[in-house]
Structure 1
Amino acid sequence: MKGLSRFFTIGLVTAWYSSNIGVLLLNKYLLSNYGFKYPIFLTMCHMTACSLLSYIAIAWLKVVPMQTIRSRVQFLKISALSLVFCASVVSGNVSLRFLPVSFNQAIGATTPFFTAVFAYIMTVKREAWLTYVTLIPVVAGVVIASGGEPSFHLFGFIMCVGATAARALKSVLQGILLSSEGEKLNSMNLLLYMAPTAVVFLLPATILMERNVVGITLALARDDIKIVWYLLFNSTLAYFVNLTNFLVTKHTSALTLQVLGNAKGAVAVVVSILIFRNPVSVTGMFGYTLTVIGVILYSEAKKRSSK
Structure 2
Amino acid sequence: MGRLFTIGLITAWYSSNIGVLLLNKFLLSNYGFRYPIFLTLCHMLACSVFSYVAVSWLKIAPLQGIRSRLQLVKISALGLIFCLSVVGGNVSLRYLPVSFNQAVGATTPFFTAVFAYLMTRKREGWITYLTLIPVVTGVIIASGGEPLFHLFGFIMCISATAARALKSVLQGILLYSEGEKLHSMNLLMYMAPVAVLFLLPAALIMEEGVIGITIALARDDLKFFFYLLFNSALAYFVNLTNFLITKHTSPLTLQVLGNAKGAVAVVISILIFRNPVSLTGMLGYTVTVFGVIFYNEAKKRSM
Shorter-normalised TM range: over 0.9
Q: Secondary structure at the match of 2:124?
A: coil
Q: Which one-letter code corresponds to 2:79 in the other structure?
A: S
The aligned runs of 1:125-144 (5 Å cut-off) are: 125-144=122-141
Decide which of 199, 202, 205 is 1:202's aligned counterpart.
Answer: 199
Matches within 5 A, 1:32-71: 32-71=29-68
TM-score by length of 2: 0.99
CA RMSD of the aligned region, Å? Answer: 0.5
Query: How far has the Cα of 1:219 moved from its partner?
Result: 1.2
What's the CA shift string for 1:174-205, capped at 9, x where partnerless?
00011221211111110000000000000110
Give per-residue Cα distances to partners, 1:46-87, cap 9 Å, x unaligned.
000000000111111111110110000000000000000011
Task: Report the CA distance between 1:227 and its aligned residue.
Answer: 1.2
User: 1-side partners of 2:291 and 2:176: how far apart?
Assistant: 29
CA distance in 1, matches of 2:286, 2:245: 25
Matches within 5 A, 1:128-207: 128-207=125-204
Report the counterpart of residue 283 of structure 2 in structure 1: 286
- Matched with 2:82 is 85
> Contact 2:89/2:160 (CA < 8 Å) preserved in 1?
yes
Q: Does 1:268 align with 2:265?
A: yes
The match for 1:237 is: 234
Q: TM-score, normalised by structure 1?
A: 0.98
Amino acid corresponding to residue 178 of structure 1 in structure 2: L
SS at match of 1:152: coil
Q: What is aligned with 1:114?
A: 111
Runs of 4+ deviating beyond 4 Å: none
- Output the amino acid matched with 1:101: V
Tell me what 2:101 maps to: 104
**Does the CA contact (< 8 Å) of 2:100 and 2:146 recur in 1?**
yes
* 1:217 pairs with 2:218: no
Question: What CA distance in whole angstroms lies between the structure 2 residues aligned with 1:303 and 1:61?
Answer: 34
In structure 2, what is the equivalent of residue 302 of structure 1?
299
Take 1:225 and 1:12, find their aligned partners in 2: how far apart are those partners? 31
- Partners in 2 of 1:21 and 1:187 — Cα distance? 21
225, 244, 249: which is aligned to 1:247? 244
Query: Within 1, Cα distance between the matches of 2:40 and 2:175?
Result: 25
- The question of whether the paired residues in 1 share the 8 Å contact of 2:176 and 2:182 is answered with no
Partner Cα distance (2:167, 2:159) in 1: 12
How many angstroms apart in 2 are the aligned matches of 1:213 and 1:89? 18
- In 2, Cα distance between equivalents of 1:182 and 1:133: 35
Alignment of 1:26-37 (within 5 A): 26-37=23-34
Q: Does 1:24 align with 2:34?
A: no
For 1:179 and 1:186, how far apart are their aligned partners in 2? 9
8 Å Cα contact 2:6-2:248 kept in structure 1:
yes
Work out the percentage of aligned pairs sharing the same amino acid.
79
1:277 to 2:274 alignment? yes
Q: How far has the Cα of 1:218 moved from its partner?
A: 1.1
Question: After alignment, is 129-138 or 225-234 more displaced?
Answer: 225-234
State the AA in 2 paired with 1:48.
L
1:151 Cα deviation after fit: 0.4
How far apart, in 2, do the equivalents of 1:221 and 1:232 lie?
11
CA distance in 2 between partners of 1:219 and 1:43 (Å): 19
Distance in structure 2 (CA, Å) of the matches to 1:217 and 1:24: 20
Tell me which amino acid in the other structure corresponds to 2:119: M
Q: What are the Cα deviations for residues 152-175 of structure 1, in whole angstroms up to 9, with x where unaligned? A: 000000000000000000000000
Stretch moving more, 26-35 or 176-185 = 176-185
